[in-house]
Amino acid sequence: MTAFRRYGLALLVAAAISFVAIPAAKAEVGVTDDKILFGSFQDMSGPAAYLGKMCSLILNTWKQHVNEDLGGIHGRKIDTVIEDNKYDPVLTKGAFTKLVDQHKVFALTAVYGSTPCQAILEDIDKVKIPVFTTAATSQTMFDPPHRYLFHYANSNRDGSIVLVDFIINDLKAKDAKFGICYQDDEYGKDGVAGLELAAKKYGFKFAQAGYKRGEKNLNPQAMKLKAAGVTHCLFVGFAPVYAAFLAEANKMGWKPIFFGDYVTVDPRTFMAGDLPNGHYHCFDLGLRSEGVPGWKKMEEIFTKHNAKEALEWPLAPVMWTPLMMLTKALQDCGKDLTREKLVDTLQNIKDFDTGGLGKIQFGPDLRKGSHVYRVLKCDAEKKLFVPVTDWREPSLVWGKR
């Protein structure tokens, strides 16, 4: 072998060793050159299946909007995979594991349910995967803040305080006897916690009656609250259950003023006929009837992508608004997309507003996206919810209690 050939061979060996020694840049989980994979769990066959159906429709509409209308994100198309958790915390842990380990998703979005989400808080921190919760209302979603968990919904604790503020300061209720009917889990108990805070501030006691998730007969709860002489009754639970609760109250001739949580701002409330008329609700989203720019844009997009059904759902912005913020954050991240970069980008977007649907504000130590609310009044005849207050914070503000 000539000296020249020996020298060339030595160069090749050195190059090979060098190539092996330098590891290739590691691609982010769920991100390829042409795709970003998002996961979600929904109740598709449990007590909140009607929510799961609507959320899945909106999630699919977002995918079509990003891919077809926006041309993707920096050359990548959005894809989604959904697991059914039946609104069950145990099944949610299994769904989370499957999405992370089997599907290998980049992030989880449009997930909901305080109790299901509560079950995976430690898993989220361990995996370090961005998760976007909507309609998960308990304080544990954001207090203390979890770096990878972004919460956007009407806090039930805030909601109870806002409604008591309204009853005492706006309605000027005299000798009011307060009560609450609630789903007996993290979701409902957060509403009770808010009522406890308000009761301590204003100096009153209240009656309470819980019901198990999935329960349909609320006669015992209505009987208990009627016997306690409740004149102003708060409710925390799904809209069909709220309608059933109203029907039970009507059967026994109990007619307090009812105050539903934000999930009862739903056409299913009108299943109770004229019974909801004049009742009130706490809500943190813009209404379609107001004709705000954000709803007009939703009408355009949802109609184009065959999702007009979702436009009849007042809660649609609770899913759509954070998806729009996520879209902006993905665009702002640039081509080099990582989970950590997405988290940093999201927490630095200021006063995100999609046109009157409801502002979002996060921060390095702030994972509670919604901060102001309005009280709505139910018009059963027109099947509308009408704002009767301006936007306001609860008198006991989170972080200053």
Task: Return d(Cα 328, Cα 326) in angstroms, integer.
Answer: 5
- Examine the domain organization and report whether 144 and 44 are in the same domain: yes
Residues 306-346 have pLDDT tens digits of 999 999 999 999 999 999 999 999 999 999 999 999 999 99
pLDDT at 298 over 70: yes
Question: Residue 400 falls within a domain, yes or no?
Answer: no
Question: Residue 19 falls within a domain, yes or no?
Answer: no
- Examine the domain organization and report whether 200 and 279 are in the same domain: yes
Query: How many structural domains compose the chain?
Result: 2
Question: Residue 20 falls within a domain, yes or no?
Answer: no
Would you place residue 5 in the very low, low, confident or very high pLDDT band (cuts 50, 70, 90)?
Answer: low
- Examine the domain organization and report whether 172 and 232 are in the same domain: yes
Question: Residue 15 falls within a domain, yes or no?
Answer: no
- Examine the domain organization and report whether 312 and 167 are in the same domain: no
Would you place residue 198 in the very low, low, confident or very high pLDDT band (cuts 50, 70, 90)?
Answer: very high
Tokens of 373: 């609310």
- Examine the domain organization and report whether 198 and 336 are in the same domain: no
Answer positive or negative: Cα dihedral of 387, 388, 390, 396.
negative
Q: Is the pTM of this model over 0.95?
A: no
Question: Residue 395 falls within a domain, yes or no?
Answer: no
Name the percent of the chain lying above pLDDT 90.
82
- Examine the domain organization and report whether 249 and 169 are in the same domain: yes
Top pLDDT among 195 and 369 is at 195
How far from the centroid of its chain's Cα atoms is residue 72's Cα? 24
Question: Residue 26 falls within a domain, yes or no?
Answer: no
Quick one: pLDDT at residue 26? 59
User: Averaged over 100-120, what is the pLDDT?
Assistant: 95
Question: Residue 29 falls within a domain, yes or no?
Answer: no
- Examine the domain organization and report whether 193 and 50 are in the same domain: no
Cα separation of the two ends of the chain: 84
- Examine the domain organization and report whether 248 and 383 are in the same domain: yes
- Examine the domain organization and report whether 127 and 72 are in the same domain: yes
- Examine the domain organization and report whether 169 and 279 are in the same domain: yes
- Which residue range forms the structural domain that includes residue 268? 157-283+375-387
- Examine the domain organization and report whether 246 and 99 are in the same domain: no
Residues 6-48 have pLDDT tens digits of 544 444 444 444 444 444 345 799 999 999 999 999 999 998 8
- Examine the domain organization and report whether 232 and 362 are in the same domain: no
Q: Which amino acid is at 16?
A: A
Question: Residue 23 falls within a domain, yes or no?
Answer: no
Closest Cα partner for 286 from 312, 318, 263, 309? 318
Provide the CATH number for the domain around residue 196.
3.40.50.2300
User: Averaged over 65-94, what is the pLDDT?
Assistant: 97
